[in-house]
């Protein structure tokens, strides 16, 4: 029994526990226990990972294990983690933990809600620990489908449309992905021998370059859809706007990272030649995403839409940085994934809490909330500041790493796009401050809002935790950046082969 499999097992146990629980109290208890256990497990993993690395364990992946699953196709259940997966697992655990609290107010079919929620996280965990393409893809899809019901049942607004659109677009992406993965698999032994799905093994072989040339776009678009790459991002605003709070948190915070992680781990790692050759196409698209999302956010009126577009922009930066194909930019990309995950979760948590009180997300209908709910308002400002890249919070670290890394390229194309991406930090400031100014500052215009209360304990917990982590990464980035950066060596080696 591999240690990492606990990441699949624990959610499963929690699921079982939820299934058996009788009332809301038990549901909450089980959910919190499960989430805490996972959080503890992840922290333990992180510490142990760092210790092992410090002890000089330089294997590409640690805790690897592989169990034959489908023998005829040589498909394994194979797990293993490197620094990047560890950081993603950490992110997942944090957001799961906070998400459980953020869903506290859901009482209607709470059991089912938490079960789907856990299933979603199960998929995410599985995805991050897998090093077998098939397992990875399976968990990827496991993570997608609960979204439909989570949004459709517990969402708000045009939830049915949004849920359907989100599911279909993401599944559309995974159609590309599936054919890409099959393609990789079938070309994993160009010189004869057994075909394999194992990432590490495939990385050692050279997939014929002309095959790479068409597999790479497929895989990249496949994951790019989830990473909200322009023009495949439109599920994101509608989906996020309609989803319940914790689902938005988890989806924007973690699930969208699956896209970036996948692009990185599958598309670039396995097909470096094509990546070098074709990066420019996707660089253009993601570069557009970065500013497009930011500009798109400016005129939105719905808080969640603003944040969703902002996610498009930030996740665009993730893919953008990955496509820069150098160690610094990629480190930045992973850090941006972490950072965006945390702060967008924070944002969605706060928006959910505000919405729960004001019953509107239209920024024109709110004002002066700083007075009535100072805690939430201050946290919102902090989230905003993190989002616009304030030093000391995680966003800055990530963005700067990305920009410095991107600037390593000396040609005009990369330079221009780097500058364009840099511009996003200004636009981000515009829309963040606009919202902050509109809803938090000023006098309370809606008299009903004066009677609203500030956050209660189960709302404070997630918010505070997220802020602490954001600040921790922002203040002491070496905490994660070294871990990430070390793990990138193999990818960089791939790219240079």
Partner 1 sequence: MDFNSILTLLRPELSLLAIIIILLIYDLFAGVAAKKYFQPLAWVLMAAHTAWSFCLTPEGTLFGGMFATTQAASLVKAILSLATLIVFLQAGGALSKAESSFKTGEFYVLTLSTLFGMNIMISSGHFLMFYLGLETASIPLACLVAFDKYKQNSAEAAAKYILNAALSSGILVYGLSFIYGTCGTLYFANVPSMLDMTVLQVAGLVMFLAGMGFKISLVPFHMWTPDVYQGAPTSVTAYLSVVSKGAAAFALMTVLFKVFAPMAMVWQDLMYGIIILTITLANLFAIRQKDIKRFFAYSSISQAGYVVLGIMAGTAEGMTAMIYYILVYILSNLAAFGVISTVENHTGRVNIDQYNGLYSTNPRMAFVMMLALFSLGGIPPFAGFFSKFFIFTSAAASGYYVLVFIALVNTIISLYYYLLVVKAMFINKTDAPAPHFRSEKALVFSLAICVAGIILAGIASCLYGGIGEFTFGM
Partner 2 sequence: MEYSIFVLLLPMMMFLFIGLLQGKLKGQSAGIIGTISMSLTTIIAYAVAFDYFFSPESKIDGIYQKIVEYNWVWLQLTENLHIDLGVLLDPISCMMLVVITTVSLMVHIYSLGYMHGERGFARYYAFLSLFSFSMLGLVVATNIFQMYIFWELVGVSSYLLIGFYYTKPAAIAASKKAFIVTRFADLGFLIGILVLSFYAQSFSFTDLTAPGGVALSSAAGVSFLGASAAAWGLSLIFVGGAGKSAMFPLHIWLPDAMEGPTPVSALIHAATMVVAGVYLVARMFPLYIDAAPEVLPGIAYVGAFTSLFAAVIACFQSDIKRVLAFSTISQIGFMIVALGVSGMGGHDGLGYMAGMWHLFTHAMFKALLFLGAGAVIHAVHSNEMAEMGGLRKYMPITHITFLIACLAIAGIPPFSGFFSKDEILSACWEFSPVMFALMAGIAGLTAFYMFRLYYRIFWSTPTDVSHHTPHEAPAVMYLPLIFLALVTLVAGFIPFGDFVTSDGAVYHIHINWTVATISIVVAVVAIAIATVKYMKEKSKAPQNPLNNVGAFYRAAYRRFYIDEVYMFVTHKIIFAYISRPIKWFDRQVVDGFMNFLAWGANALAARIKGFQSGQVQQYAYVFVLGVIILIVIALAL
Sites of contact with partner 1 (CB under 8 A): 68-73, 75, 134, 137-139, 141-142, 145, 148-149, 152-153, 159-160, 163-164, 167-168, 171-172, 175-176, 178-179, 182-183, 185-186
**405 touches partner 2 (CB under 8 A):** yes
Give the span between the Cα atoms of 399 and 396, in whole angstroms. Answer: 5
- Which residue from 13, 16, 400, 452 is in contact with partner 2, where contact means CB under 8 A? 400
- Which residue from 123, 296, 316, 352 is in contact with partner 2, where contact means CB under 8 A? 296
**389 touches partner 2 (CB under 8 A):** yes
Closest CA to 342 of 361, 314, 377: 314
Stretch that binds partner 2, among 52-60, 80-88, 141-149, 288-296 (CB under 8 A): 288-296
Closest CA to 74 of 175, 207, 219, 185: 185
Give the span between the Cα atoms of 413 and 430, in whole angstroms. Answer: 26
> CB of 335 within 8 A of CB of 488?
no
Q: Which residues, 6 or more positions from 473, have their beta carbon under 8 angstroms from its beta carbon?
A: 335, 338, 339, 342, 393, 394, 397, 479, 480
**478 touches partner 2 (CB under 8 A):** yes
Q: Which two tokens stand for residue 255?
A: 């699930």
Whole-number minimum distance, CB 178 to partner 1, in Å? 6
Closest CA to 93 of 112, 66, 113, 121: 121
**167 touches partner 2 (CB under 8 A):** no
Give the span between the Cα atoms of 466 and 229, in whole angstroms. Answer: 26
Whole-number minimum distance, CB 138 to partner 1, in Å? 4
**485 touches partner 2 (CB under 8 A):** yes
- Which residue from 385, 461, 465, 469 is in contact with partner 2, where contact means CB under 8 A? 385
**397 touches partner 2 (CB under 8 A):** yes
Residue 446: half-sphere exposure toward Cβ, Cα within 13 Å: 19
Tell me: cis bond preceding 231? Omega within 30 of 0 counts. yes
Q: With respect to partner 2, which residue has the nearer C-beta, 3 or 161?
A: 161
Q: With respect to partner 2, which residue has the nearer C-beta, 19 or 476?
A: 476
Map the footprint of partner 2 across residues 435-454, applying CB under 8 A.
437, 440-443
Map the footprint of partner 2 across residues 306-365, applying CB under 8 A.
327-328, 331
Helix (H) or strand (E) holding 136: helix 133-144
Q: Give phi and psi for 288, each to the nearest 5.
A: -60, -45
Whole-number minimum distance, CB 370 to partner 2, in Å? 6
Q: Give phi and psi for 366, each to the nearest 5.
A: -125, 150
- The partner in contact with residue 152, picked from partner 1, partner 2, none with C-beta cut-offs of 5 to 8 angstroms by kind, is partner 1
Q: Which two tokens stand for residue 64?
A: 């690897």
Q: Which two tokens stand for residue 419?
A: 């500058």
Strand partners, 66: 78
Q: With respect to partner 1, which residue has the nearer C-beta, 68 or 298?
A: 68
- Residue in the structure block whose two tokens are 């709110």: 366
> CB of 347 within 8 A of CB of 475?
no
Q: With respect to partner 2, which residue has the nearer C-beta, 157 or 442?
A: 442
Q: With respect to partner 2, which residue has the nearer C-beta, 254 or 297?
A: 297
Whole-number minimum distance, CB 448 to partner 2, in Å? 18
**14 touches partner 2 (CB under 8 A):** no
Q: With respect to partner 1, which residue has the nearer C-beta, 197 or 268?
A: 197
Q: Which residues bind partner 2 (CB under 8 A)?
A: 165, 168-169, 230-231, 233-235, 237-238, 292, 295-296, 298-300, 327-328, 331, 368, 370-371, 385, 388-392, 396-397, 400-401, 403-405, 407-408, 410, 418-419, 422-423, 425-426, 429-430, 433-434, 437, 440-443, 476-478, 481-482, 485
């Amino acid at each position: 029994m591999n240690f990492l499999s606990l990441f699949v097992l624990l959610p499963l146990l929690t699921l079982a526990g939820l299934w058996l629980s009788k009332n809301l109290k038990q549901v909450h208890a089980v959910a919190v226990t499960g989430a805490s256990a996972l959080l503890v497990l992840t922290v333990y993993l992180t510490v142990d990972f760092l210790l092992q690395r410090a002890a000089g364990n330089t294997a590409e992946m640690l805790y690897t294990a592989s169990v034959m699953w489908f023998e005829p196709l040589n498909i394994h259940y194979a797990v293993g983690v490197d620094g990047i997966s560890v950081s993603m697992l950490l992110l997942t655990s944090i957001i799961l933990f906070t998400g459980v609290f953020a869903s506290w107010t859901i009482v209607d079919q709470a059991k089912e809600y938490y079960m789907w929620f856990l299933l979603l996280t199960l998929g995410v965990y599985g995805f991050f620990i897998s090093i077998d393409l098939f397992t990875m893809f399976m968990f990827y899809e496991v993570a997608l489908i609960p979204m439909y019901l989570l949004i459709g049942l517990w969402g708000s607004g045009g939830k049915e449309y949004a849920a359907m659109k989100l599911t279909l677009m993401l599944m559309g992406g995974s159609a590309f992905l599936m054919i890409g993965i099959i393609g990789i698999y079938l070309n994993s032994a160009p010189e004869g021998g057994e075909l394999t799905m194992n990432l590490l093994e495939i990385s050692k072989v050279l997939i014929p370059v002309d095959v790479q040339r068409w597999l790479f776009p497929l895989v990249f678009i496949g994951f790019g859809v989830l990473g909200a790459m322009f023009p495949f991002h439109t599920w994101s605003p509608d989906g996020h706007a309609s989803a319940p709070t914790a689902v938005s948190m988890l989806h924007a915070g973690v699930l969208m990272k699956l896209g970036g992680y996948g692009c990185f781990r599958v598309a670039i790692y396995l097909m470096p030649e094509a990546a070098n050759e074709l990066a420019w196409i996707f660089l253009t698209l993601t570069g557009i995403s970065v500013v497009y999302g930011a500009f798109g956010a400016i005129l939105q009126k719905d808080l969640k839409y603003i944040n969703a577009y902002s996610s498009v922009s930030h996740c665009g930066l993730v893919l953008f940085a990955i496509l820069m194909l150098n160690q610094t930019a990629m480190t930045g990309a992973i850090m941006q994934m972490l950072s965006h995950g945390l702060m967008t979760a924070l944002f969605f948590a706060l928006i959910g809490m505000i919405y729960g009180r004001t019953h509107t997300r239209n920024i024109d209908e709110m004002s002066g909330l700083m007075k009535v709910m100072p805690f939430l308002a201050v946290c919102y400002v902090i989230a905003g500041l993190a989002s616009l890249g304030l030093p000391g919070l995680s966003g800055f670290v990530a963005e700067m790493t990305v920009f410095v890394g991107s600037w390593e390229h000396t040609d005009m194309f990369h330079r221009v796009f780097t500058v364009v991406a840099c511009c996003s930090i200004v636009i981000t400031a515009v829309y963040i401050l606009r919202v902050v100014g509109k809803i938090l500052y000023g006098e309370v215009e809606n008299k009903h809002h004066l009677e609203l209360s500030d956050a209660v304990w189960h709302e404070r917990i997630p918010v505070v935790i997220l802020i602490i982590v954001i600040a921790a990464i922002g203040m002491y980035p070496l905490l994660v950046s070294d871990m990430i950066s070390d793990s990138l060596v193999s990818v960089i080696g791939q790219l240079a082969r």
